[in-house]
Amino acid sequence: MASGEEDGTVDEKETNNKKRRTKGAIATAWLAFYNIAMTAGWLVLAVSMIRYYLQRGTHKGLYKTIARTLKFFQTFALLEVGHCAIGIVRTSVIVTGVQVCSRIFMVWFITNSIRQIQNEESVILFVVVWTITEITRYSFYTFNLLHHLPYFIKWARYNMFIVMYPLGVIGELLTIHAALPYVRRSGMFSLRLPNKYNVSFDYYYFLIIVMLSYIPLFPQLYFHMLRQRRRVLHGEVIVEKDE
């Protein structure tokens, strides 16, 4: 009887291991497909921007030509929050959610909604920074999943952000600042009293709060990346304190 029970236990463990391996293989295949698709999408965006500038010699009108591609791939990145939530990617749901949603907010509720600012140089600045960053990031994830990671991609992933991250933040803040006068004049996305909901919301002041939120959030995310850089490139053991 004991032998039969042990055999049953062994069979059950083998079955569970097979299921885990199958789920792991499916998750890896999906993540590889996702990252390849996102790399390709941002590469298309980069080529479109370069081609436009070479043909026109100006950044004016560029955003309009890339808007559809930018909105699609940046919105598609919401899947990354789902990846974290179901556990196939070991990253904080909150950190990923903040990063993805802040970009979607910039695309849909700032640049797409306020056409008067689409030719601002700050818009091109953050779009160029995002494009370079995402091509590097998704390439890194793709090659890492395929267990064939070239050192230059690893180096780019953990070094380029030192410059790109602040530049992107500057571009985003300048774009929001440029949008403020138009938001104030138009009253867009605002809800005035009296109304049937008895609720007031001023989008103008909301954007100011968003700009101020960069003060505590940016250093946290930036130093988190610096800690990762030390761990990955220099092999330092980083001890995180429990909060």
Please give the positions annotated as active site.
165, 172
- What SS3 class is residue 210? helix
b (16+ CB within 10 A) / e for 224-243: eeeeebeeeeeeeeeeeeee
- Non-local (6+) Cβ contacts of 87 within 8 A are none
Q: Which structure tokens are listed for 12?
A: 């059950």
The Cα 126–Cα 164 span in angstroms is: 9
Sign of CA dihedral 104, 107, 112, 117: positive
- Non-local (6+) Cβ contacts of 53 within 8 A are 59, 62
Q: Which structure tokens are listed for 97?
A: 């959610």
Question: What angle, 0 to 180 degrees and rounded to 10, lies between the N-to-C axes of helices 121-145 and 62-76?
Answer: 40
Among 133, 36, 130, 38, residue whose Cα is nearest residue 76: 38
